[in-house]
Amino acid sequence: MSNIHLHYDVSGEDFTRAGEASGSVKKRLKALGYNTDAIRRVAIAMYEAEINMVIHAEGGFVDVDIFPDHVDVLLSDHGPGIPDVEKAMQEGFSTAPDNVRNLGFGAGMGLPNIKKYTDDMRIETEIGKGTDLYLTVRVKE
Amino acid sequence: MNKYFHSVELEADKCCGCTNCLKRCPTEAIRIRDGKAHILSERCIDCGECIRICPHHAKRARSNSIDEIENYKIKIAIPAPALFGQFNNLNDIDIVLTGLRAMGFDFIYEVSRAAELVSEATRQLIREKKLQLPIISSACPAVVRLIKIRFPELCDNVMPLLAPMEVAAKMARREVISMTGLSDDDIGVFFITPCPAKVTEINAPNSSEKSAVSGAIAISQIYPELTSKMDKLKVVEPIAKSGLIGVGWATSGGEAAAMLGEKYLAADGIENVIRVLEELEDEHIHGVDFIELNACSGGCVGGVLAVENPYVAQARIQNLRKYMPVSLNHLEENDLDLMMWENELTFNAESFRLSEDIIEAMDMMEKMEEICKNLPGLDCGSCGAPTCRALAEDIVKGNAKETDCIHKLKARIQSVYDQLGNLK
C-alpha cells in the first residue's frame, strides 16, 4: 500500500519548539482530507509524545507514515530510558522537573493520554540507551 | 445564491500585483495571477486583512448605500456598538441614535440590546448544561467561517445562537410589525457596520436560510453625514435602551466579561485567534468554559469599515459605559427559540484538501513534497503564491508551473545560456 513518509528531528535544546512536528503532521493530514477524528487523535498523541521527548530525553526524531486507513508514528530518543513502564503508564505518575510543571506539563497524563488516543501503542526502552515509542491511529468509519 | 458570496472584492485598476495582501492573508486565499490579485473563494473568510494592508486601496468591501433605505416603507437602523466609539467627546449615545433618525431612519434598535439578550441566553444555556464546553462565541462571522473551513473538530463547540446583529433585526421587525401592522416586506433593516464579514453574513448566512437584515451600511460611509447631523440636533430623543454589558461587546473581552464568570478567554486579531483554535483543537486549553474570539485587533471597533483608531475607540467606549446600568434587556418567553440557529454548523472539507479521493490526495502530496525540495524556500511571493509550499500545491493542482518561481526561471535561463555557449 502506498504511503507518505515524513521525518522530523526534534530538538531537545529549545522547549518552546516542542509541538512543531505534530503541528506539521496535522496540517498535512488536513490537506489530505483525512478523517477528522483520526487527525485529532494523531495530533494529540503525537504532541504528548513530542513533549515527553523534549522534557525527558533531550530530543530525538519522529518518523510518520501516513496510509489511507491508518497512521504509524515512531518517536525515537537516546534519553535515559523508562525504568518502570507500568508505573509510567499510571495516571498522575510524573518525573517531570518543576520548571516544566509550571508551564502546565508534567501532570502525569502524557503516556496515559497517548494510550487513550491511539489504537496501538508499544514502548521499547532500555536504561541509559533510550526509548522507542510506536503508535498507530486507525481511521474508524 | 452563489455558492460563495464575498463582500471583499478587488478593484482591478488599482491593483499593481504587489505581494502585500498575498503575504497577509491568514487563510492563504490570495494568488497573484497575470499581475492582479485573485481571491480563492472557497478559502476567503472576509476578515478584511487585505483591505487593511493594501497600500493602493485596491481591495474594498461591498456594502449598501444609504439611498437603498428608500426602497422600504419603514426604515430601521440597527447600529453596531462599535459606532459609539467613533465620536470625540460623546457622553450620550442618544445623540448618535437621534442623528441616525435625522438621516431618515424611522426606528432604531441598538445591536447592543440584542447583545445583552445573547449574553443572557448564553449564561442560561451554560447553566442548564446544554452546550459542549468550552463554548466558542459565534458573534464574529469571520471566526465562524474560519472554523467551518479549517477546524472540523471544533464545529460542535460553536455557540448555536444567532449573532446580536441577527437577533436585533428579528426583534426590531417583531416590534415594528406589532406597532404598525405592516408586513415584513415593507420593512427594511439596515446594519450600521464596522465589518465586511457581517456584509457576507447577511448575504450568505452561516447558520440560517435567510438573514432578517436587509442590508449593511459601512460606518465609514455614513460617518461624515452622521456627524454633521449630530452637530445640528436641536432635541436629543430618548431612544437608547442598552446597558454597559451590551455596549461592551464593541471591544475585545466585552462579550466574555458579560458571562459574569471567571473561566473565560478572549483573543483578538486573526493570527491570535488561529493560535487559540489550534491549541483548542489539540486539547491544550483547560479550565475555560467560554471563548470569545474576534478576527479584528481590539474587537469590533477594529473593523476595517470603522473610522477611528480601535484603541482610541476602545477608550471612549470604556468612558461611555461608566454610568450605564448593567443590562436593560432580558429574555422573555419564547425569545430563546427565536435566537437559536436554524442550521447546524457543518465542516466544509473542500477548502483545504487536495482531493476528494484520499489515494489521489496522497499522490499529490508526495509530488508536492518533491517539488518543495527543489524550490528555494524563500517564501518571497514573487511567483504569485504566498509560500513555496503554496506554489507546490498550486503546481500539483495544475494551477501553476515550476517556472513561475523567478529563481527557478533564472536558473533555467542560465542553463540554456550555458548550453548555447558550449555549442560554439
Cβ-based contacts of B363 with chain A (< 8 Å): 2
The pLDDT of residue B1: 38
Residue segments in chain B with a per-residue pLDDT below the cut of 50: 1-2
Strand order in the sheet with A130-138: A4-11, A59-66, A70-77, A130-138, A120-126
Tens of pLDDT, residues A10-47: 988 788 888 899 999 999 999 999 999 999 999 999 99
Cβ-based contacts of A18 with chain B (< 8 Å): none
Cβ-based contacts of A26 with chain B (< 8 Å): 281-282
The pLDDT of residue B323: 86
Say yes or no: A31 contacts chain B, CB-CB below 8 A: yes
* All residues at 6 or more sequence positions from B313 whose CB lies less than 8 Å from its CB, including other chains: B82, B85, B86, B250, B251, B298, B301, B306
The residue to which cell 487523535 is assigned? A41
The pLDDT of residue A18: 84
The pLDDT of residue B196: 94
C-alpha cell, B262: 471567571
Closest CA of chain B from A134, distance in Å = 20
Tens of pLDDT, residues A98-116: 777 776 777 777 888 899 9
Domains B1-62 and B354-424 share a fold: no
Tens of pLDDT, residues B19-71: 999 999 999 999 999 999 999 999 999 999 999 999 999 999 999 999 999 99
* All residues at 6 or more sequence positions from B168 whose CB lies less than 8 Å from its CB, including other chains: B78, B109, B110, B111, B113, B114, B191
Among residues B419, B412, B147, B283, which one has the least CA distance to residue A114? B283
Among residues B251, B245, B240, B301, which one has the least CA distance to residue B93? B240
Q: Which domains does chain A have, with CATH numbers?
A: 4-138 (3.30.565.10)
Residues in chain A: 141
- Any idea where the domains of chain B sit in the sequence? 1-62, 66-339, 354-424
In the 8-state DSSP scheme, what is residue B13?
A: G
The yes-or-no verdict on residue A75 having pLDDT over 50 is: yes
CB contact under 8 A, B153 and A36: yes
- Predicted TM-score (pTM) of this structure: 0.91
The pLDDT of residue B138: 97
* All residues at 6 or more sequence positions from B144 whose CB lies less than 8 Å from its CB, including other chains: B138, B158, B206, B207, B345
Residues A53 and A131: their CA atoms lie apart, in Å, by: 9
Residues B165 and B259: their CA atoms lie apart, in Å, by: 19
Among residues B294, B300, B301, B292, which one has the least CA distance to residue B257? B292
CB contact under 8 A, B353 and A2: no
The pLDDT of residue A1: 56
Q: What is the mean pLDDT of residues A85-95?
A: 84
The residue to which cell 483591505 is assigned? B51
CB contact under 8 A, A4 and B362: yes
Chosen CATH of B1-62 out of 3.40.350.10, 3.40.50.300, 3.30.70.20, 3.30.70.100: 3.30.70.20
CB contact under 8 A, B365 and A43: no
Confidence of residue A71 (pLDDT cuts 50, 70, 90): very high
Provide, for chain A, the percentages of residues in helix, strand and coil under a 3-state DSSP scheme, each rounded to the nearest 5.
40, 30, 35
CB contact under 8 A, A34 and B358: yes
Superfamily of domain B354-424, CATH level 4: Electron transport complex subunit B, putative Fe-S cluster (1.10.15.40)
Indicate which of A6, A27, A30, A67 best probes the interface with B, i.e. most B CBs within 10 Å of its own CB: A30
Residues B150 and B274: their CA atoms lie apart, in Å, by: 10
**Out of B278, B284, B365, whose CB is closest to A31?**
B365
**Out of A23, A28, A40, whose CB is closest to B153?**
A40
